[in-house]
């Protein structure tokens, strides 16, 4: 099999950014073939009767197919027009109505885009704004105009969606340790508009991520790799700052493009709300830019310093993660530890005033012990 991947598959064992795969449409249903990643060489089939479909993607031009497979929940984003066409042709009558609704979504999204464009009018204006857009200034202007409540709604739905398929830890040493770390950091954020919510997910995946609006997920796999609370605090300081600097919104606005930016700047929140409603899963796949990562690193380090948490734990952990990478370190795949990154952090740390760290109240050995003693993933 040498065909190019034509879809992205999401599931518990796949990277949070999805696993590229090849979808083949057959008479009875679909077969998904994985040509790379953890599932390389495997294929999974699902019959049409097991599937639900909806429109999705930033432009509502992707077909989202969900089912509960033998290996767990599956969400597939079909991007390629050929595979979407083949799917529509082969799908039985019971999928006809949702497929028509999905097609209607696409038409509406395109209509909204046309409406906004006609509002803009003059091509000269569009052109000059287009050039301006390239400078990111317009993106920042648009992001500044998005109310926090909006951002929270957006993040919350993706957060709930994600957690619904995860083994969430409700209590225990690990949860209270993460709560203490969060509290120590959040206390030091002046004029903080966010009610940060942090959830510990039982999973061997070495990862942590933040969604717009202040929703943060820490995997037990990451905690088990840490030698102390300061190291976990380093990752959290970085993630909290992605939220505070509104990096997620910047990415969304950039991906939605000029029209979305103009809608926000011109005050037309309505059309955009519709576009963003479908963003749920995509938020989890947002990749930040290099400047955003650097900003989160440096502001994270400063936050740790203000919270009197030893910031050297952050640097050490980032370096250690890259040394011990055993293939499941998701966080590293989105946060590659380059020499330049480490050097920048070390230089920043060296320039900071001396600080006497205040210890955490938990005993990290016990926290980690508690995690090791428990079953880590659902069967």
Cβ proximity to Zn ion: between 21 and 296 the closer is 296
- List strand residue ranges (DSSP E) for the chain, in order: 7-10, 19-25, 29-33, 43-47, 52-56, 62-69, 72-78, 168-169, 197-201, 208-211, 215-219
Chain residues 279-298 in contact with Zn ion, contact rule CB under 5 A: 293, 296
Binding mask 243-282 for Zn ion (x = CB under 5 A): ----------------------------------------
Please report how close the Cβ of residue 158 comes to Zn ion at its closest, in angstroms. 17
Residue 178 vs 243, nearer CB to Zn ion: 243
**Shortest approach of Zn ion to residue 325 CB, angstroms?**
17
| Binding residues for Zn ion restricted to 295-324, rule: CB under 5 A | 296
Is 139 within 8 Å of 253 (Cβ atoms)? yes
Q: Is 121 left (phi over 0), alpha (psi -120 to 50) or beta?
A: left
Residue 178's contacts (CB-CB under 8 Å, 6 or more residues apart) are 198, 200, 218, 223, 232, 236
Closer of 63 and 349 to Zn ion (Cβ): 349
When the beta carbons of 48 and 318 are compared against Zn ion, the nearer one is: 318
Q: How far is the CB of 291 from Zn ion (least distance, A)?
A: 11
Is the CB of 19 or the CB of 293 nearer to Zn ion?
293
Tell me the site size for Zn ion, rule CB under 5 A.
2
Our CB check for Zn ion shows the closer of 74 and 341 to be 341
Least distance (Å) from Zn ion to the CB of residue 273?
27
Q: How many CB atoms lie within 10 A of CB 76?
A: 25
Rounded Cα gap, residues 233 and 178, in angstroms: 8
**What is the nearest approach in angstroms of Zn ion to the Cβ of residue 26?**
40
Task: Using the Cα atoms of residue 141, residue 278, residue 280 and residue 153 in order, give the sign of their dihedral.
Answer: positive
CA dihedral 91, 67, 98, 255 (to 10 degrees): -110
Q: How far is the CB of 300 from Zn ion (least distance, A)?
A: 9
Closest approach, Cβ 17 to Zn ion, in A, equals 13
196 contacts 179 by C-beta, under 8 angstroms: no
Q: For Zn ion, which is the closer residue by CB, 296 or 307? A: 296
Q: What is the DSSP string of 310-346?
A: -THHHHHHHHHHHHS--S--HHHHHS---HHHHHHHH
Binding residues (CB under 5 A) for Zn ion: these are 293, 296
């Amino acid at each position: 099999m040498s065909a190019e991947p034509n879809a992205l598959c999401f599931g518990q064992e796949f990277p949070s950014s999805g696993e590229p795969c090849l979808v083949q449409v057959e008479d009875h249903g679909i077969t998904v073939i994985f040509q790379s990643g953890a599932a390389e060489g495997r294929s999974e089939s699902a019959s049409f009767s097991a599937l639900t479909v909806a429109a999705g993607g930033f432009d509502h031009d992707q077909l989202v197919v969900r089912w509960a497979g033998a290996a767990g929940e599956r969400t597939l984003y079909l991007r390629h027009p050929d595979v979407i066409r083949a799917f529509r042709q082969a799908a039985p009558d019971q999928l006809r109505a949702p497929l028509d609704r999905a097609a209607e979504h696409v038409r509406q999204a395109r209509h909204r885009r046309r409406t906004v464009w006609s509002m803009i009018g003059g091509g000269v204006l569009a052109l000059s704004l287009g050039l301006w857009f390239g400078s990111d200034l317009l993106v920042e202007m648009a992001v500044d105009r998005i109310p926090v409540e909006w951002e929270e709604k957006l993040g919350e739905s993706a957060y709930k969606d994600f957690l619904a398929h995860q083994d969430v830890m409700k209590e225990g040493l690990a949860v209270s340790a993460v709560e203490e770390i969060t509290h120590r950091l959040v206390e030091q954020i002046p004029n903080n508009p966010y009610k940060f919510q942090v959830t510990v997910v039982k999973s061997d995946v070495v990862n942590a991520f933040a969604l717009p609006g202040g929703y943060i997920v820490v995997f037990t796999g990451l905690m088990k790799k840490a030698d102390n609370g300061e190291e976990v605090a380093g990752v959290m300081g970085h993630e909290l700052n992605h939220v505070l600097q509104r990096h997620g919104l910047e990415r969304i606005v950039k991906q939605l493009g000029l029209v979305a930016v103009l809608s926000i700047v011109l005050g037309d929140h309505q059309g955009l709300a519709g576009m963003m409603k479908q963003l749920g899963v995509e938020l989890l796949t947002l990749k930040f830019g290099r400047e955003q990562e650097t900003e989160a690193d440096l502001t994270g380090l400063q936050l740790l310093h203000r919270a009197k948490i030893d910031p050297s734990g952050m640097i050490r952990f980032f370096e250690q993660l890259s040394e011990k990478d055993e293939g499941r370190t998701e966080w590293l795949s989105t946060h590659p530890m380059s020499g330049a990154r480490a050097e920048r952090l070390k230089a920043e740390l060296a320039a900071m005033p001396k600080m006497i760290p205040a210890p955490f109240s938990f005993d990290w050995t016990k926290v980690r012990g508690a995690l090791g003693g428990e079953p880590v993933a659902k069967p």
